[in-house]
Structure 1
Amino acid sequence: MRKGRLKPGQRVQLTDYKGRKSTITLAEGGEWHTHQGVLRHDELIGQTEGIVVANDAGYEYQVLRPLLNDFVLSMPRGATVVYPKDSAQIIQVADIFPGAHVLEAGVGSGALSISLLRAVGDTGSLHSYELREEFAEIARGNVEAFFGQQHPGWEIHLGDAGTTPLEIEQPQTVDRVVLDMLAPWDCLNMVKTVLAPGGVWVSYVATVTQLSRLAEAIRDSEGFTEPEAHETMLRTWHLDGLAVRPDHRMVAHTGFLLATRRLAGDHRPLQLKKREKVSEPSAEDKAAWGGNQEDAVWDEESLKTRVVSKKKARRAAANAQTIADKAKGVPQE
């Protein structure tokens, strides 16, 4: 799927002279229609990528296989995908290595799953947990479309991430845990049980309130190292002769990453000196920050995130499965 000559079922990215990109799935006898004309798939099948072809009206396109970044941003989706800039940081911060056993919760559309599967390789394994069945179907289709087959190390399970892994994973056998969910502190006991000593836990959260509550929950559990948090901002540059400057638009805040490591047994973390200087917030400060945190409702509405309807998710799942079937060579009706 990633090298050699172009074949039916593979996705290719077409770029015109204005830099506009379109992604299509090749099919024998297929045609791609635009207001600029018709491009026949047979003219691409059997060719190497990196060529420039013209449609029947003479309009030219540069032909390349989409990179992982391109695939993620163009694939069918239900939930918002983890952006490539954050996926790359998660792989690095969590130290995902070939052969690792990784637990992921909050699959969404499968963007992060693809990056994790690439990192663990054929000798590693990824167990993904998702609460919504329609999201699991979208992710399954996107993963199969990218790899052209089922990944040998991937399993996806439906259920509550806080309890379902306890029924499947053996204690202290998971090397890395990656959570992308609204209330990751609900999984604290699960992570503490399944994560091996020295293992890394990385959570992806969207808001400062989530970040703060998760950090304090980890500290209160006394089973992990001092949590560390950061965000990544990506700014592209305009390159045109001597006009070299930052672009006016950038991908700024998408989410925070919070990372910590599991301590062995009942060992407690060292009390860092910098924590001794931090005063306990007053009752007034806590009330102003968010009131009674135990009674707070952490859902899409309260956090002002986009709610994906079941109808839209099912439509995205069907689209993802169609692309996956083409990639696997399944005959189309």
Structure 2
Amino acid sequence: MNSEATQQNHVPALGQETRRGVLREGDRVQVRDPKGRMHQVILVSGGRFQSTRGGFNHDDIIGCPDGQVVTTDEGREFQILRPLQVDYVMAMPRGAAVVYPKDAGTIIHMGDIFPGARVVEAGAGSGALSMALLNAVGTGGHLISVERRPDFAQIAQANVDLWFGGHHPAWDLRVGDLEDVLLSMDEGSVDRIVLDMLAPWENLDAVIHALAPGGVFLCYVATVTQMSRLVEDLRKTKKFTEPTAWEDMRRQWHVDGLAVRPEHRMVAHTGFLMIARRLAPGVQPLTRTTRPAKAAQGLGGQWDAEDSWSIDTVGVRQSTERKIRKVRRDVVAQADTWVADRAQNRDINDAENTHQGDENS
């Protein structure tokens, strides 16, 4: 009984320790000034936060409850809170572009990512969607994230480890080709497949092999041409339900007394989401009541040119190799240092608790 309780108390490795309780050394906090500017800081004993609006000592808030407002000697105020995952994702180092929180939340909900689910994700990018998927599957699930580029995989690994405070036991990050990973699995062994890649239609045979009947296939693509090609190729397989495609936009509102209006800037198009479900073997999809255009059926017509699909022709933004090397170097070093310090502090606390228990007995 005591051993089970001890194991449950080690759930802090999944991030609870850094997301509840008093502020501790090593915690990441978000500092907001009266102008609304945000700064993310890791608390260090003896450290100091300084900006053009003033500053404060880390020791002044270490040991205090979350949700502090600190007044500086100059009379400036700073609001201090632990960042939410959405705050962390938007501020974390990145090599590849991240899946925005508005889309990640929709993927979790519309894809029905449930606790204990077996999920395959590709590509891992900078780890933003991986964090949301891990939250959903929990420790009893299994998330396999596949990334072709080793440098992106290292960035994703560091970002996710920094957020959870260590390696998530449900996460299996692999460097390689998605098709190879899916075909190596038992037939129908995966509950959900979520793809964020340039040409997901190239892996449909592997998806059909690995995805269980009734399982959800969900793709995130950047352009209309990708979405159109994917939907038509899915229909051609006759292994899925009729695909549904959409996009989500988010607009904040300015609310101040009688001045209530939409904000002038908004997070508009980030990507298209497409969802379909795997039919049982030998089952034919429902007959469509509308005829598709002949020039857009599967690999026919405008989709003949296989070599025309590239990051440049699709127009997807990409980071320079120099930036990716810098981000990978910095975030991996930060993650290694922070996780090691966490483990050392945990060992010290365990030793002190054991010593205290011996004295009490």
Tell me the TM-score range normalised by the shorter chain: over 0.9
Correspondence 1:313 to 2:321 = no
Correspondence 1:147 to 2:171 = no
Correspondence 1:304 to 2:321 = no
1:253-307 Cα distance to aligned partner (Å, 9 max, x none): 111100001111122211132xxx3253359x99xx9845343432211111122
The amino acid that maps onto 1:160 is: D
What residue in structure 2 maps to residue 281 of structure 1? Answer: 294
SS at match of 1:198: strand
Correspondence 1:259 to 2:275 = yes
Listed as ranges, the gaps of 5+ residues in structure 2 are 1-17, 345-361
Structure 1 residues 279, 145: closer, same or farther in 2, change over 3 A? closer
What residue in structure 2 maps to residue 98 of structure 1? Answer: 115
What residue in structure 1 maps to residue 28 of structure 2? Answer: 11
- Superposed, which structure 2 residues align to 1:204-283 within 5 Å? 204-273=220-289, 277-282=290-295
What residue in structure 2 maps to residue 295 of structure 1? Answer: 306
SS at match of 1:302: helix
The amino acid that maps onto 2:294 is: P
1:9-52 Cα distance to aligned partner (Å, 9 max, x none): 22100111111111111122222222233322222211111111
TM-aligned CA deviation for residue 216 of structure 1: 0.6
Counterpart of 1:182 (choices 185, 198, 201) is 198
User: Contact (CA 8 Å) 2:182, 2:209: kept in 1 or not?
Assistant: no
Listed as ranges, the gaps of 5+ residues in structure 1 are none
SS at match of 1:18: coil
Correspondence 1:43 to 2:43 = no
The amino acid that maps onto 1:281 is: K
How many residue pairs end up in the alignment? 325
1:147-189 Cα distance to aligned partner (Å, 9 max, x none): 111101001001111223323x222111100000000001101
TM-aligned CA deviation for residue 329 of structure 1: 4.5
Alignment RMSD:
2.1
The amino acid that maps onto 1:300 is: I
Name the TM-score, length of structure 2 as normaliser.
Answer: 0.85
Looking at both structures, which has the greater relative contact order when contacts are Cα pairs under 8 Å and sequence separation is at least 6?
1
Relative to its length, the structure with more helix (as a share) is 2
Q: State the percentage of identical aligned residues.
A: 49
What residue in structure 2 maps to residue 89 of structure 1? Answer: 106
Inter-partner Cα distance in structure 1 for 2:206 and 2:329: 32
The amino acid that maps onto 1:232 is: D
What residue in structure 1 maps to residue 48 of structure 2? Answer: 31
> Considering only CA atoms, is the larger Rg found in Structure 1 or Structure 2?
2
Q: Which moved more, 1:294-303 or 1:128-137?
A: 294-303
User: Contact (CA 8 Å) 1:9, 1:328: kept in 2 or not?
Assistant: no
Q: Which moved more, 1:20-29 or 1:83-92?
A: 20-29
